[in-house]
Amino acid sequence: MTREELFAELTAEAAACMRCERMRDRLAVLSHLNGSIRPEIMFIAEAPGRNGADRTRIPFHGDKSGETFERLLQSIGLTRAGIFITNTVLCSPRKPSGANDKPTRAEIANCSGFLARQIELIDPPVIATLGAVALDALRSIAPHNLTLREHAASIARWNGRLVVPLYHPSPQVIITVRNAQQQQSDFRILLQAVELSKNQ
């Protein structure tokens, strides 16, 4: 089977998944709208947002985090055509109020097989994790000792490829932890990682 056929098969499986009780009425955000399946960089975030990917079906599109992500991409000359974006959990976790919620450990574990298969199938030379949840989720696939606090915007080797831990581009993170200028500087490390991957 071709990569395209295998990806179509994977998206169909994700769409039919009913493992997480509170997300059974949600649809997995995994399709050709996630980007290139032959990317230079795969971005992994936490979960689709209610006003962003869960509504638009396009990761990091339609909300404030998406707007910031687009600006960060443009700042280093990247477009969605050359990247793939996915999430640790493919469906949108919500609080009883309907607000966005963090995925539970069980929900992350339920979706870890889909994450592993995406990485294996798409085979990106560089992975950029967006936030601590995504970085931690990689441990379910292959061990690492990386933390966002200590290793943000550094290039590490993981599971036969390069990984760059980055902060999430959410408004809350930008206000309290890592401002837009710092995140823009962090994103420039991705270009170094891409160049490094070409010379391996």
Domain ranges of the chain: 3-198
What is the pairing mode between strands 83-87 and 41-45?
Answer: parallel
Ordered DSSP codes for 133-157: HHHHHGGGTS-----HHHHTT--EE
The correct answer on CATH 3.55.50.30 for the domain covering 3-198 is no
Measured between alpha carbons, how far is 146 from 164 in angstroms, rounded to an integer? 10
Measured between alpha carbons, how far is 116 from 88 in angstroms, rounded to an integer? 10
Residue type at position 168: H
Measured between alpha carbons, how far is 119 from 148 in angstroms, rounded to an integer? 20
Tell me what pLDDT residue 57 has: 94
Phi, psi of 84 (to 5 degrees): -130, 135
Is it the case that residue 64 has pLDDT exceeding 80? yes
Per residue in 82-100, pLDDT (tens digit) is: 999 999 999 999 999 988 9
Per residue in 136-145, pLDDT (tens digit) is: 999 999 999 9
CB 81 within 8 A of CB 40: no
Tell me what pLDDT residue 150 has: 96
Is it the case that residue 199 has pLDDT exceeding 90? no
CB 144 within 8 A of CB 156: yes
Measured between alpha carbons, how far is 196 from 21 in angstroms, rounded to an integer? 42
